[in-house]
Amino acid sequence: MLKLLSSSSSCLQGRIHSLGPNLGLRPGPTELASPFLRVISSLTGLTRPSSVGRAYFCSDGKDGSDQVAEIEVKKAEAEGEAAESKSSSAIVPTNPRLDDYLTVLALPLPHRPLFPGFYMPIYVKDPKLLAALQESRKRHAPYAGAFLLKDEPGTDPSVVSGSETDKNITDLKGKELFNRLHEVGTLAQISSIQGDQVVLIGHRRLRITEMVEEDPLTVKVDHLKDKPYNKDDDVIKATSFEVISTLRDVLKTSSLWRDHVQTYTQHIGDFNFPRLADFGAAISGANKFQCQQVLEELDVYKRLKLTLELVKKEIEISKIQESIAKAIEEKISGEQRRYLLNEQLKAIKKELGLEADDKTALSAKFRERLEPNREKCPPHVLQVIEEELTKLQLLEASSSEFNVTRNYLDWLTSIPWGNYSDENFDVLRAQKILDEDHYGLSDVKERILEFIAVGKLRGMSQGKIICLSGPPGVGKTSIGRSIARALNRNFYRFSVGGLSDVAEIKGHRRTYIGAMPGKMVQCLKNVGTANPLVLIDEIDKLGRGHAGDPASALLELLDPEQNANFLDHYLDVPIDLSKVLFVCTANVVENIPNPLLDRMEVISIAGYITDEKMHIARDYLEKTTREACGIEPEQVEVTNAALLALIENYCREAGVRNLQKHIEKIYRKIALQLVRQGASDEPAVADQKSPTSQIDLPVEPGVLAAQVVETSETKVEDIDKVDQSVDQTATGSLEKDLPAEPAVGEVEVADTDEPTDSKDAKETEKIQESEGTKTVEKILVDEPNLSDFVGKPVFHAERLYDQTPVGVVMGLAWTAMGGSTLYIETTQVEEGEGKGGLHATGQLGDVMKESTQIAHTVARAILLDKDPSNAFFADSKLHLHVPAGATPKDGPSAGCTMITSMLSIAMKKPVKKDLAMTGEVTLTGKILPIGGVKEKTIAARRGGVKTIIFPAANRRDFDELAPNVKEGLDVHFVEDYNQIFDLAFGDGQNKDE
């Protein structure tokens, strides 16, 4: 079969036609037979010595590469034929004539049709067809029919590749091939055969009539001639001229055809109309079906119109090509220019010593940053830094690895390796600073002073992990800042409340986009020292998500045995954190995971008693709030009774944050009153100085301006109304005493004999005298008017009863907000033989419900022991209630209180006045220890309790309390309930006392 030699880039050079014998070309002389042939010769750059023909043709081939077929037609077969050895012409004499070839071999053309007067090289892969072509040349009948191949039905010709098309041609045989050929083709002369390459020269149009032989495919054809036309037709001339003009424009704009512009413009007049149409269609870049349409058109005018459309499209393509080339050229030239200028700028700066290149500058910056701490820097870190600096020099600045390495070096050199701040081990100074910032908190202060004392004796400090636990608002976070100031350490705080990503603690891997080290490395970079005080806030509120468990990640950070070699995922080098003092804060220690809690030293901050809150409010909160509101001390006075009422009735929680909010609320309202008073005074001065307030009318002193406003253009009545409304807002009364000087709303009688200037001077003197004699009115905040500033009391007295009734006992409870008193009430619901039972209410938890059952059992046993004849519990249905039913309650420490309440209703005897108790009870009556001794002691003092009963196991906890907390309390420590019975109902004293 056939294979077409192809090319796409140099289409012009190959698309040049050569005329055959029908145009009068004969072998022999070197002169061309006609001017038209001279045009073709000049277009192709062809020099034809004797009868050797040379032409260039370019068409789409199998592999899409540019191939230029340089064809030199030779007749060199030395088989004893003298005629062939003497002549090298590719065109043989037409003997017989072309019209005699009515049966020809069919050559399929896959890519483009062959136009008359053009060369086309093809490849013939079918051996039978190639042998038949060679036999035809030997018989001096070197002609065949070249027909364009139709596309396979159902395929897109723009998608099918050349290799697929060639494979399809190879598979086609006989009748199948015959059905795939276009009817109209070209009679082609076989110019030469070299291997499987056959060079064809088109002569005239043919039409297939029928198939003669299948292998190789031979068909009968009819020779087609152009329809007659009028050479002088103006329409045909105009169309041809437009084709010529368009071709000239295309040849000027297209670089592919630019070599032939001069020859074409000189000899374009030698073309006739049919040849002009074929020329334009052949050299255009149109697809094969459009070219086939031109080949099949026998009407010269219609053929010219079709060619004109093709060359018009060609010029549009040339314009698009030119614009694309221009845009790409501008882009490349701009980037190249910018690159060259940047390189020149770098070279100039480097030559002048103004600036080194980027890599050198970066390396110098990192080395300069590392130099002060080089001797203190660990050797393994120095080795990593040097390796990364060497790697930085080898990387391209535009690569992503360069930025990763640069950021890594930036973090490595920013950490203060071995750079420690000088600590202050002065215990007295630290004591003074801690007392200045915080009142009370003796446990915390004592522990910090111990830490400083150990550091002074050792000559160096060692990092510790301290956990401050307590209710909100007791000053846990601010204590950390005070400790840092006392130790002269840098302070860094970060909260881990709700933290669910391990990377926040351990850092990201450097392979991730946007990777960063963890909080600890960021801390060291920010503070600039390797021994800061790090406050980790809300450690009991750690989260746990898909990114890991941060509580487990903190184990290495907060372990004194491991944090000397803390490994961050980003830095990937060990960091010594053993000198860092970690202070953690938590509200509920039970929420901290046990492995993490085991690594920390817990210091409990129970909260503040009323006396401590008074000192804090007076010495810290009030002073800070007054300065923040811009109020002077002489402008306001808050009495101790008001502060005490504020603490007892509004702010009973353990901390002082709510107390601070209420004090701020008081001072904000005071600030508003002061501003309103100032606003009421300013218009008075302005009005007295204003000339509109002085009306020369014969009125008596003290007459209001409202009496004369109708005779004045200036309505002083309006000013008087504004002043009265301001006075009403500030003082709550419309009545106002008139001062000796003219007040707002009064009009002074003007002396007509005095000049205006003297009157103004006298007015000014009067105003100054009134301002000098006016005294600043101090705002007093006392217990009676406290509700005007902070509203109605939130809490009521914790003692519900002056004299405790039968069946009611006060207990002591612990809450997250501190301690509180808790009443237990028991009453008899029903009495009857065998109706004993117990019903408990008050939103009790499971543990507390069990305590009620235990208390009921123990109370029955004790009553049986004390009074065997009393069958109260066996015949009575009891109802036990814990007030404040909206508050959930749970815990075992109310056991002894419940037993006492049941026994009180059973014996119809109230407990002693001002008594409170707490303790867990077993079925045998033993009293077990409880927690929250300090909170419960504070709650007892707040509730006016004088006698407290604690388990004997809590004696040491009570002894460690500050003296002001346990002052004035009668505390008894018991081991079993019989001792409580004697204290609650009897007259005896506890033997342990």
Q: Residues 565-588: what's their mean pLDDT?
A: 89
Give the CATH number for residue 853: 3.30.230.10
Indicate the average pLDDT of the chain: 75
Examine residue 443 and state whether it is found in any structural domain, yes or no. yes
Give the CATH number for residue 630: 1.10.8.60
Q: Residues 291-317: what's their mean pLDDT?
A: 82
Among 810, 822, 993, 798, smallest CA distance to 915 is for 810
To the question of whether residue 742 is assigned a binding role by annotation, the answer is: no
Q: Contact at 8 Å (CB) between 498 and 545?
A: no
Do 567 and 628 lie in one domain? The reply is no
Do 600 and 614 lie in one domain? The reply is no
Give the CATH number for residue 495: 3.40.50.300
Residue 468 β-bridge partners: 585, 603
Residue 731 has pLDDT above 80, yes or no: no
Do 435 and 501 lie in one domain? The reply is yes
Residue 921 pLDDT level (bands cut at 50, 70, 90): very high
The per-residue pLDDT for 259 is 54
Q: Residues 315-334: what's their mean pLDDT?
A: 84
Q: Contact at 8 Å (CB) between 385 and 392?
A: no
Q: For the ranges 55-69, 168-182, 267-281, 335-349, which has the lowest average pLDDT? A: 55-69
Residue 845 has pLDDT above 80, yes or no: yes
Residues 6+ apart with CB under 8 A from 61: 3, 4, 5, 6, 7, 67, 111, 162
Q: For 709, which DSSP code?
A: G
Residue 776 has pLDDT above 60, yes or no: no
Render pLDDT for 944-956 as a digit per residue (tens, 0 to 9).
Answer: 788 999 999 989 8
Residue 686 has pLDDT above 60, yes or no: no
Residue 223 has pLDDT above 60, yes or no: yes
To the question of whether residue 507 is assigned a binding role by annotation, the answer is: no
Do 862 and 891 lie in one domain? The reply is yes
- Out of 17-31, 135-149, 722-736, give the one with best mean pLDDT: 135-149
pTM over 0.85: no
Q: Residues 49-77: what's their mean pLDDT?
A: 34
Residue 562 has pLDDT above 70, yes or no: yes
* Cα gap 526→545, rounded to integer Å: 28
Total number of domains constituting the chain: 5
To the question of whether residue 471 is assigned a binding role by annotation, the answer is: yes
The per-residue pLDDT for 312 is 83
* Cα gap 103→222, rounded to integer Å: 9
To the question of whether residue 579 is assigned a binding role by annotation, the answer is: no
The per-residue pLDDT for 920 is 92
Residue 316 has pLDDT above 90, yes or no: no
Residue 19 pLDDT level (bands cut at 50, 70, 90): very low
Do 529 and 448 lie in one domain? The reply is yes
- Out of 10-24, 422-436, 724-738, 814-828, give the one with best mean pLDDT: 422-436
Examine residue 847 and state whether it is found in any structural domain, yes or no. yes
Range of the domain at 140: 101-151+172-223
Examine residue 707 and state whether it is found in any structural domain, yes or no. no
* Cα gap 220→103, rounded to integer Å: 4
Coil, strand, or helix at residue 459? coil
- Out of 45-54, 93-102, 694-703, give the one with best mean pLDDT: 93-102
Query: Which phi and psi angles does 881 have, rounded to 5°?
Result: -135, 140
Residue 243 has pLDDT above 50, yes or no: yes
The per-residue pLDDT for 277 is 77
Q: For the ranges 90-99, 237-246, 302-311, 520-529, which has the lowest average pLDDT? A: 90-99
To the question of whether residue 496 is assigned a binding role by annotation, the answer is: no
The per-residue pLDDT for 77 is 36
CA dihedral sign of residues 602, 608, 613, 615:
negative
Examine residue 910 and state whether it is found in any structural domain, yes or no. yes
Q: What percent of the chain has pLDDT over 90?
A: 11
The per-residue pLDDT for 523 is 92
Residue 932 has pLDDT above 90, yes or no: no
- Out of 95-104, 480-489, 798-807, give the one with best mean pLDDT: 480-489
Mark which of 391, 413, 435 sits at the end of a domain: 413
Residue 234 pLDDT level (bands cut at 50, 70, 90): confident
Do 586 and 672 lie in one domain? The reply is no
Examine residue 932 and state whether it is found in any structural domain, yes or no. yes
To the question of whether residue 475 is assigned a binding role by annotation, the answer is: yes
Examine residue 288 and state whether it is found in any structural domain, yes or no. no
Do 363 and 508 lie in one domain? The reply is no
The per-residue pLDDT for 696 is 39
Do 963 and 814 lie in one domain? The reply is yes
Do 672 and 633 lie in one domain? The reply is yes
Render pLDDT for 628-653 as a digit per residue (tens, 0 to 9).
Answer: 998 888 888 899 889 988 988 888 78
Do 446 and 586 lie in one domain? The reply is yes
Mark which of 565, 584, 604 sits at the end of a domain: 604
The per-residue pLDDT for 869 is 87
The per-residue pLDDT for 950 is 92
Q: What percent of the chain has pLDDT over 70?
A: 74
Mark which of 572, 604, 636 sits at the end of a domain: 604
- The residues annotated as belonging to the active site are 893, 936
The per-residue pLDDT for 268 is 53
Among 31, 8, 284, 119, smallest CA distance to 276 is for 284
The per-residue pLDDT for 952 is 92
Q: For the ranges 203-207, 697-701, 988-992, which has the lowest average pLDDT? A: 697-701
Among 538, 532, 537, smallest CA distance to 581 is for 532
Residues 6+ apart with CB under 8 A from 797: none
Residue, of 333 and 917, whose pLDDT is higher = 917
Residue, of 224 and 256, whose pLDDT is higher = 224
Residue, of 499 and 699, whose pLDDT is higher = 499
Do 373 and 474 lie in one domain? The reply is no
Do 540 and 568 lie in one domain? The reply is yes
Residue, of 938 and 773, whose pLDDT is higher = 938
Q: Contact at 8 Å (CB) between 790 and 650?
A: yes
To the question of whether residue 739 is assigned a binding role by annotation, the answer is: no
Examine residue 904 and state whether it is found in any structural domain, yes or no. yes
Residue 85 has pLDDT above 60, yes or no: no
Residue 818 has pLDDT above 60, yes or no: yes
Examine residue 284 and state whether it is found in any structural domain, yes or no. no
The per-residue pLDDT for 896 is 93
Residue 990 pLDDT level (bands cut at 50, 70, 90): very low
To the question of whether residue 237 is assigned a binding role by annotation, the answer is: no
